[in-house]
Structure 1
Amino acid sequence: MCLAAAPPALAASGSDHPEFSLDSSSDCEFGGKNIESTPWSLQRIIMNQLRDKATGKGITVAVIDTGVDDRNKQLAGQMAPGGEDFVGNTDGTEDLQGHGTRVAGIIAAKKIAGTGFQGLAPEAKILPIRYTGGQTKDGKPKQGNSNTMVAAINHAIEQDVDIINISSDTADRKDVAPLRKAVARAVAKDILVVAASGNDGFDAKSQKTYPASYDGVVAVAASNRNDERAFFSQAGDFVDIAAPGVGMVSTVPRGGQCTADGTSFAAPYVAGVAALMMERYPDWNAKQITARMQETAQRPTAEPNRYVGWGVVDPMAALSNSSEPGETPKLAKPKRGGGEVTAMKVTMGETPAEREQRIATYVLGTGLLLVFVAGGSGVAIRDWRRKQSPSGSK
């Protein structure tokens, strides 16, 4: 099992290397075991109901990342033809770091015996595009940059994909003109571009990241089990929506699964929901798909805010309203329920990231006495955190 607990290291100032790891996973065993239990991120959905609505059939999602290893049984047969490698000589199905394989699994991993994990859109196809995370002939890491990301986006456009998932941002959070133009080209082609918002939100200050901040991109924040912003998730007015990003189980190269935290894994959750919606509502454009996801998201207030945007995506609610939406979301009453979804009991414990946050709370909360009882400590901390957290809105 691989576990993530700290923010990724920043690239050197002025460099052009991407911060592709918008998670901070420690070592993960490739070719390891599967996790038997159902992840909490799927326990919030009644999967049979979701499958009755859509499976993602006929939809292609480009995963622009470190590659996607289709030797994992849950990803075998899930690749679309036309994959590409801009830092190597493969068809995009080599993944030396495992990041892209985890991203792809959240979108389209097949259901198999022995694990409760599966992708949200198992009949969608993944177009694997490696733009970073390669290796030179002498075995040294070969990282991509904004140029290889631009090439990857352009390739995805040429392959006529429906959705592009980018779980990355640029070094120093720079707005790079060629990248901006490539994203704009994809948006103009009615391709839904989904991007992770970033993992430097520990101080809750607003700061733009790219490509998530570009016009037309669906910027995804990470939420926890309580549908609150994950403490590391980047805040900002550009955030459009949130999705589970803590303790995210997914596929790894050569087989098996591991767990990691990060907005990297919240973004493909949204991409998976979008794939389902595109199958169910084939006449809707990308803006309409986005608007309906935002309108039906679970949020604590009537208006969107800079922490979770319009709220935490609700797959069943997004797929249960066939009335045609506009191209911009409309405000409605605060939505806490999940439509037809009945929440299941969460059985997975806290992740190391959440445990470190809890310990930090003890240290920073000197002078504050909390009385904990078995099974009640999480509630006490959450209630205290809510009182202390700033509230902001767009």
Structure 2
Amino acid sequence: MGDYFFLELASMTTFKVTQNAPNLTLKSFNGGGQGYTSIINNLSYAIKLYWVDLNGVEVGYETVPTNGTDVRQSAFIGHAWRIRDLDGNFVAEFYGDTDQIVLSKTGIEFTFDDSNLTIPKTTLSADEYIHQTFGYGIINVAKALDATYSEAPFTGSRITSYDNSAALKYINSYNLWKQGYDGKGVTVAVIGTGIDSNNIEFSGRIIEGYDFGNNDSNPIAGTHPHETGIAGIIAGSATLKVEGSLYDTIGVAPAASILNIKDSIDDGSGITDSKSAQSIRYAVDHGAKVISLSQGSSGTYKSNELYSAAKYAQDHNVLIAVSAGNDFKDSLNMPAFAWNGLNNYIVVGNWNMDGYNLFRSSNKLGSVDVPYVVAPSSGWQVQLNNSYAYYEDGGTSSATPYVSGLAVLLFQQHPDWTPAQVISRITSTATSPYSLSVSLPSSSKINALPTGAVSISGATIQGQTLIASNTLADVDGLGVISYQWLEDGSNISDATGNTFILGQSQVGKAISVNASYTDNYGTAEKVSSSATAKVANINDAPTGSVTLSGSGVQGETLTATNSIADLDGLGSITYQWLRSGVAINGANAKTYVVSAQDGGESLSVRASYTDGGNTTETVTSKESVFVLPKSTITTSVVKGVISGTSNNDVFDTALNTTAKYQGGKGDDSYIVNPSGIVITESANQGTDTVFSSASFTLPLNVENLKLFGLSEITATGNKSNNLIVGNSANNLISGLEGNDTLTGGAGKDTFVVSTALNAKTNVDTITDFNPSEDLIGLKASIFKKLGVGVEASELWLKNQGSVQTANQYLIYDSNSGTLSYDADGSGKGLAIPVAIIGTNLSLVAGDFVVL
């Protein structure tokens, strides 16, 4: 167990505390109504007693030899007895009345009161305490910033040396500005008596705010230097050199901007709750990230005005550092204690660097559950008119700006942090003044569980978005909330936002979400939502394609392959071969042999399967193979002409590109490869067809034109009722006169209307017009009211197929699929049908072009 410190009360109850100083016993007893403490030295070395006054100054008293005893009147709060060895090393310190002794060596303050031991609350763990005197401990700037700190610690007396760098070295802040930790870009508001804005320490960094004490816009300091010194500790620039020494007046964050706000009259008096509250709100509204408030009242009332202002700062992510007060009390003053429940403020006590304890004037944390740290207050401070002064004990007012400066540096380093995160970083990296532990039974703070709930909104259907929300609250403080989505209770990888899109892998599973955070006492909290219903599947369209290889020559074999994928799962794939879009009976294999029946037709293939959701899916090849008929005419040229028979002849013009071709009575076919081929047919001699891989205009008495190959082709009809079929390229198709049937095929085709309109004899039918790809070309000489470039503004489309207002020339009846032209644009004359283009199309002006 180690060595022990024995503390014995008048009741003779003995308690043991682990110590570096064994066998030292303190007994309290009554003597004529006065409290006394008996010091029994069973140490192996002599000790000396010192009386500590209100300012922490020691006055030497008796030396107590080994095995010696001394009796002293008990010290009340504000004074203490301090014990050192004869080399001056600190051993212990105590104060108390008749029935109470408080030892401060341990780092945890134990109060022995009528034989009942009260151990301060624990807010971190069973063996890590928040001390009721010094809270979380002394701030450690380098540790909070996770910065490298290589400065040698200061040795000797930190106060009597008059060394300004001692305080910065004590909190591990000295020269950190050289590493870039200087507060640049962050604004700190200093509220109080006003700052001497002309002081060279702050050149160019003072933002003039408002004077609520005098109700004007000039907050410059009057006769009181208090806030000028505070601003220097936060952001002094080391411009003033202290006379007679090597030390300067640099602040914790020497490049920070300072918002000057005054809530008193010129002599520092006249501060009210209302003025301070107005000052806090002003700081929030004018860009402050940190507010340094080195003021307070000895009262214990709760000001609604100040609380509301502090809450306003919390709602806008502004941190407040506030002094604990200088009233020699075991508890906090207003407003420090009155803001309990907010998470954006931190309370600062005044630490004696030489005495290793609080200055006696500094109010302690007590039993209020708020973040409380301590900082030094001794050192040089800038004053009015570019002067300076040394403060041995600057009070909690001068300790607070060290914490304000650290908050500025943390916001510079983490601009997206909240005040609660900054405060948590300051308290978690603070250093306990002592490192000794306690062998007494410890008591842990009971963690307050979060209240409220986590919920999920949104439809549990694949592809839909779920949204997580919460109504959580925690009296221990609500940290930053993060989310983790789960499927059937297992974490979903990379699903940590407040929204989640349901995918195929979630189908059939229940979804829930966890909301997690760390409260202000370091406890990790997690709240789970209820699970949703199982995610419903939606059919996912197949991706990939079906392709075919091989040539369209009779007797050749075509082969189908695919790259199909389906999130719902692929079933067994079967094939169906198509001839000009119609299923070929019995052609269900992966391969197909081109036959004579395929001549003059296009071949494609369709793949089918049933997916994992029991949906039948089909994918048809985009490309097709055109099968040319076999030539049947092999006769010689007679006078430059190759003539057919009375049968259904097939002419291959590639065999002779200079001859003219004359068909007979049958249904003749012409394969045209080069352009310029001359074909002659007589009337009433069958239905003839031209298969062309080049631009071609049908001659008289030839009815059909079918394009093949991959070239972009211009296909033009004649006066007959033509059938024109394009290839897979971008074709320009014009039927001219007659009631023509036009099919563009794949590609971005343009269907041209270029001959005089006639409702009976010149209305084309376009079988596959696709507004997203194809165009309808309107000849300007026919559609005179449109004109080139006019159609976009004057096109009017109506489902009922009638004109409603003037200048509306094109009419589309989506029920019949008829496109008409109204020459006067007013409906007075009859609209003339132009073409039948398909029903229920969504047309816009951009689907038409005037040629």
Matched, 1:192 2:384: no
Matched, 1:228 2:361: no
The structure-2 alpha-carbon separation of the partners of 1:200 and 1:71, relative to structure 1 and needing over 3 Å to count, comes to same
Matched, 1:94 2:221: yes
Letter in 2 for 1:43: K
Q: Tell me which moved more, 117-126 or 240-249.
A: 240-249
1:60 aligned to which of 178, 187, 193: 187
Shift, 1:92, TM fit: 1.5
Partner of 1:308: none
Letter in 2 for 1:223: W
Secondary structure at the aligned position of 1:206 is classed as coil
Secondary structure at the aligned position of 2:202 is classed as coil
Q: How does 1:132-151 map to 2 (within 5 A)?
A: 132-134=264-266, 143-151=270-278
Q: Tell me which moved more, 36-45 or 282-291.
A: 36-45
Shift, 1:237, TM fit: 3.2
Letter in 1 for 2:334: T
Q: How does 1:54-203 map to 2 (within 5 A)?
A: 54-81=181-208, 83-88=209-214, 89-112=216-239, 114-115=241-242, 116-134=248-266, 143-201=270-328
Q: Which protein has greater RCO, CA pairs closer than 8 Å, 6+ apart?
A: 1
1:98-131 Cα shifts (integer Å, max 9, x gaps) = 1111111110111226242211101111101100
Secondary structure at the aligned position of 1:233 is classed as coil
| Structure-2 separation of matches of 1:295 and 1:53 | 23
Letter in 1 for 2:166: W
| Structure-1 separation of matches of 2:180 and 2:519 | 22
Q: How does 1:281-296 map to 2 (within 5 A)?
A: 281-296=414-429
- TM-score normalised to structure 2 length: 0.30
Partner of 2:412: 279
Shift, 1:211, TM fit: 3.9
Secondary structure at the aligned position of 1:117 is classed as strand
Shift, 1:297, TM fit: 0.5
2:382 aligned to which of 229, 245, 251: 251
Shift, 1:242, TM fit: 2.8
| Structure-1 separation of matches of 2:436 and 2:518 | 18
Aligned residues: 271
Shift, 1:46, TM fit: 5.7
Kept in 2, the 8 Å contact 1:59–1:162? The answer is yes
Kept in 2, the 8 Å contact 1:230–1:245? The answer is no
Identity %: 24
The structure-2 alpha-carbon separation of the partners of 1:56 and 1:237, relative to structure 1 and needing over 3 Å to count, comes to farther
1:177-213 Cα shifts (integer Å, max 9, x gaps) = 1111111111121100110001112xx5234431454
| Structure-2 separation of matches of 1:92 and 1:232 | 30
| Structure-1 separation of matches of 2:332 and 2:179 | 40
| Structure-2 separation of matches of 1:113 and 1:154 | 32
1:130-165 Cα shifts (integer Å, max 9, x gaps) = 001336xxxxx7512111111111111111210111
The structure-2 alpha-carbon separation of the partners of 1:326 and 1:76, relative to structure 1 and needing over 3 Å to count, comes to farther
Partner of 2:395: 262
Letter in 1 for 2:190: V
Kept in 1, the 8 Å contact 2:307–2:338? The answer is no
Partner of 2:96: none
| Structure-2 separation of matches of 1:175 and 1:223 | 26
Matched, 1:297 2:430: yes
Kept in 2, the 8 Å contact 1:288–1:327? The answer is no
| Structure-1 separation of matches of 2:241 and 2:253 | 19
1:19-43 Cα shifts (integer Å, max 9, x gaps) = xxxxxxxxxxxxxxxx994342023
Kept in 2, the 8 Å contact 1:295–1:329? The answer is no
Is there any run of 5+ residues in structure 1 with no aligned partner, and where?
7-34, 136-140, 304-324, 332-394
2:174 aligned to which of 47, 55, 58: 47
The structure-2 alpha-carbon separation of the partners of 1:69 and 1:328, relative to structure 1 and needing over 3 Å to count, comes to same
The structure-2 alpha-carbon separation of the partners of 1:46 and 1:175, relative to structure 1 and needing over 3 Å to count, comes to closer
Letter in 2 for 1:220: V
Shift, 1:176, TM fit: 1.1
Letter in 2 for 1:133: I
Letter in 1 for 2:271: G
- Larger Rg over CA atoms: 2
Q: Pairwise CA RMSD of aligned residues? A: 2.8
1:300-358 Cα shifts (integer Å, max 9, x gaps) = 3699xxxxxxxxxxxxxxxxxxxxx9562539xxxxxxxxxxxxxxxxxxxxxxxxxxx
Q: How does 1:17-32 map to 2 (within 5 A)?
A: none
Kept in 2, the 8 Å contact 1:196–1:220? The answer is yes
Letter in 2 for 1:132: S
Secondary structure at the aligned position of 1:127 is classed as strand
1:232-282 Cα shifts (integer Å, max 9, x gaps) = 110123452333334232111111211332000111110001101111112
Q: Tell me which moved more, 44-53 or 224-233.
A: 44-53
Matched, 1:241 2:368: no
1:330 aligned to which of 522, 530, 533: 522
The structure-2 alpha-carbon separation of the partners of 1:171 and 1:36, relative to structure 1 and needing over 3 Å to count, comes to closer
Shift, 1:69, TM fit: 0.6
The structure-2 alpha-carbon separation of the partners of 1:242 and 1:144, relative to structure 1 and needing over 3 Å to count, comes to same
The structure-2 alpha-carbon separation of the partners of 1:172 and 1:53, relative to structure 1 and needing over 3 Å to count, comes to same
| Structure-2 separation of matches of 1:286 and 1:167 | 18
| Structure-1 separation of matches of 2:286 and 2:189 | 9
Kept in 2, the 8 Å contact 1:84–1:129? The answer is yes
Partner of 1:17: none
| Structure-2 separation of matches of 1:301 and 1:210 | 31
The structure-2 alpha-carbon separation of the partners of 1:112 and 1:150, relative to structure 1 and needing over 3 Å to count, comes to same
Secondary structure at the aligned position of 1:80 is classed as strand
Partner of 1:218: 346
